[in-house]
Each structure stands twice: as structure tokens, then as C-alpha cells.
Amino acid sequence: MSSAAQTSTEAQTKGGSPRGADKAAPPAAGQRARHEALEPRHMPRDFSISLDAYNRGGTDRFIGRVPEGLVRQEMTGFEPTYVNIVDYIVRITHRIWEEKDIGYIYDTYSHDCTVWDDLGLQYGRDKIVADTVHTNNAFPDIRLVADEVVWAGDAEVGFHTSHRTRILGTNTGFSRFGPPTGKRVQLWCIANCVARANEIFHEHVIYDTAGLLKQLGLDVLEAARRFARTGAPALPSNFLAAEPSRLRGQGKPASRPLPDSRDDIDELVRAAFQTIWNRRNFGAIEQVYAPNAVMQASTGRVHRGTGQIRSFALSIVAMFPDLAMSVDDVYWMGNPAEGFIASIRWSATGTHRGHGPYGEPTGRPVTLWGITQWQIDGGRVTRDWTVFNEFGVLTQIVA
């Protein structure tokens, strides 16, 4: 670890933020909704507070007691049992989902929290409690196994976390999709949360719902039609701050060249998304991704190598020829020597005018949104986890 990285970590763990996070008083409920933007200084410069550090010796040894040997972090306003933000995320998830203390949501989510899921906006923690009960009823043996927690921020501006999990369970109870099937499922989920003073007040979460339905043996398109008929929420046209449409007439998408230095993660991410998705330079995938990169995508798809990743991008744009992509949030952890891992929340608008796995073109406008995590080594993406609202897209197409 470089001396600069050590200094950065010491400042974070001792509460030495330039803005005085160690002196910050817990904000009032109304202040909690204030979603402050992160700056580069809020990004951890190493992996001393990480899932790998947490998992030395196994996650289970930390559950139910104050973990020993973990790097401590200033956690003003949080319950004293949590030593850092990764500890907080892993243990509240375990307590709620596996220990079945679903009511702990009342202590770890604000009453007026906003949660964007596959289908739209869910508001308030009572809705979160109800949805959690529903899922536990459908999959009584459900487990959420942490695979990665990307984080940034501090106790003052709020901790931003991108929690990638593998969900495992057996469908032995009724669900919104129908009676029990007895099928065993395994799927990815990424939840991006913002927490302050022990409460999550803003969340974007993507479940691989289309992948879930396929594993249950259900017809995904028919399930989308049923949801559309019953008035299930669909994403509004102004879902996020994505460009409303591609430039028309003589206009053209702005050029944003890939940076020579790959240490500026924010610029690398935004330039790569603009170049590949909005400029349609699919050849740039060879410059962004390592030749043997692996992408873990929605509905259980796995793309290996730049050729398959390029084919995936082409298939999306072929179905939505006017696709316009927007990067809505980026944060990361790491350094050039150890590599980086970044969380990227994005959204896109487009019109279903092309052929592909979503059926014959309907001409309907849709909004896509998703969360991507990139592992970056030597300036290239070596692993990509991308989950997006595929089931939500289908509900918009068949509505």
C-alpha cells in the first residue's frame, strides 16, 4: 500500500474528513433527505474497509457481535455496534433477511425513504417491510450472500454503498407471480443505498426479476402482460435525468474521448459510456475492456471476451435504435497499484423499433435503468456485473 493510500485510510478511519465528519451531529429527519454529491476526496483509496477484509475467516464469525480486527471508521449517528460501513451493510442485511428480524427495517430505513426498483418508485419504509415479508413468504429459506460492497462518502455527506448479492432460495410459498413452484433459484441483485445516522433514506435496487421468472419455469412475457393488465407500476417517461431523445437533424452526440490516464475513474466511466452507447463506437469496447473480460448480465447471461460483450451492446441498440444513455451516479474505491472497483448507476430512453429477444417491434417508448459494477485492473475492465430492469422494460413494451 502506498503512503498516500495509508494516509487517506487513516483520515477516514479516524474521522479526519476535511469537512469535520467526526464533529458532525446526526441530522434531523428532514435533513436526511438531502442527497449530497460525492467528490473525489470521498472515495476510499484502498481496500482496508472492504468485503475482502470483512470476510477474512468467514462472514459468519462477525454476525451477532462486534467484529474484531476490522478497521474502524467514524460512524456518527449509527448504532455503536457497527465499526464501519461494510459491517453495517452486511450485518443489517443478514439480520433482516436471514435472521428474519424484518422489523429491523424500522430502525435502518427512514420513514420517508424512496426506493426505485425494477418497476418504479416505492415510497416509505412500510412498503419496504411489506415487500420483504412477501419475498420471505415466497422463499422461506432465502439467503442473501454478499459478493461485493462498493462504498464512498462519510458520516456527514452520507455513506453511498453498492451492495452486490447472490440471492438463493426455494419457492415454497405464494408470490405475486403465482402459487409455489418448488423450484430452487439463484440470481443477482445490486442495491445502491445512501445512509446517514443509521438510516437508509434513498435506494436504487435491481433484482434480476426476468431471470427469477425463467428459473421458476414461468413465461416471462406472459408475466409482463399480466402485470401490465393489472395496473402494476411502470416507469414514467421522466424516470431519471436521461436525455429525452437522441439529437435530431444535423446534430450529433458529443464526442468524449477516452482518457489517456485510466486513474481518473469518473472520466473513464463517463467517456466510455458516451463513446460506446451514445456515439455508437462499439469498437471502443476493445480499448475499455480487457480481451478476456467477463460480463455477468441480467437473466443469467454471461458474456466472455470483448466479442461477446460487443454483441450484447449491439443487441440492445438494435432493439432501441434511438437509445440515449445517461450516467447518473459514479463512485469507486481503490488505487492504480491495487486496481479499482466502481459502481455506475445509469439510465436510458429509447423506442422499441428493432428486432430482438423482446419480440416484434412495437414502437413503444421505454426507459431502461441499471447498475453496473466494474473491476478495473491495469486501466482495463476485467469484470463487469450489469443488472437492469429487464422485466420492467417488458412491462412497458407489452403495456
CATH number at residue 214: 3.10.450.50
Regarding whether 285 and 213 lie in a shared domain, the answer is no
Regarding whether 179 and 287 lie in a shared domain, the answer is no
Residue 260 lies in a domain: no
Mean pLDDT by 10 residues, the chain (399 residues): 36 35 38 65 94 71 70 94 93 93 96 86 89 96 93 95 96 95 96 96 94 95 87 51 52 89 92 96 97 94 96 97 94 96 95 93 92 96 95 90
Please measure the distance between the N-terminal and C-terminal CA atoms of the chain and give it in whole angstroms.
Answer: 53
- Residue 158: give the domain boundaries: 3-218
Q: Which residues of 259-296 are buried (b: 16+ CB within 10 A; e: fewer)?
A: beebeebbbbbbbbbbbbbbbebbebbeebbbeebbbb
Burial class for 25, CB neighbours closer than 10 Å (0-12, 13-18, 19+): exposed
Regarding whether 19 and 164 lie in a shared domain, the answer is yes
Residue 225 lies in a domain: no
Predicted pLDDT of residue 35: 57
Task: Tally the domains of the chain.
Answer: 2
Q: How far is CA 153 from CA 37, 66, 193, 383, 391, in A?
A: 9, 22, 12, 24, 32
Domain boundary among 218, 247, 278: 218
Residue 285 lies in a domain: yes
Predicted pLDDT of residue 269: 97
Q: What is the pTM of this model?
A: 0.86
Regarding whether 197 and 85 lie in a shared domain, the answer is yes
Residues 6+ apart with CB under 8 A from 113: 123, 124, 125, 128, 199, 200, 201, 202, 203
Regarding whether 270 and 213 lie in a shared domain, the answer is no
Residue 232 lies in a domain: no
**DSSP element (H, E) containing 374:** strand 365-377
The gap from C-alpha 293 to its chain's centroid, in whole angstroms, comes to 20
Regarding whether 312 and 184 lie in a shared domain, the answer is no
Residue 187 lies in a domain: yes
Regarding whether 159 and 50 lie in a shared domain, the answer is yes
Predicted pLDDT of residue 116: 87
Predicted pLDDT of residue 118: 80
Regarding whether 278 and 199 lie in a shared domain, the answer is no
What is the Cβ-side half-sphere exposure of residue 141, based on CA atoms within 13 angstroms? 10
Regarding whether 159 and 96 lie in a shared domain, the answer is yes
Nearest Cα to Cα of residue 81 among 16, 92, 159 = 92
Domain boundary among 218, 243, 276: 218
Residue 300 lies in a domain: yes
Predicted pLDDT of residue 10: 36
Residue 230 lies in a domain: no
Predicted pLDDT of residue 60: 65
Residue 199 lies in a domain: yes
Predicted pLDDT of residue 242: 43
Regarding whether 35 and 168 lie in a shared domain, the answer is yes
Distance CA 270, CA 268 (A): 6
Regarding whether 204 and 316 lie in a shared domain, the answer is no
Domain boundary among 218, 246, 279: 218
Predicted pLDDT of residue 143: 93
Regarding whether 305 and 176 lie in a shared domain, the answer is no
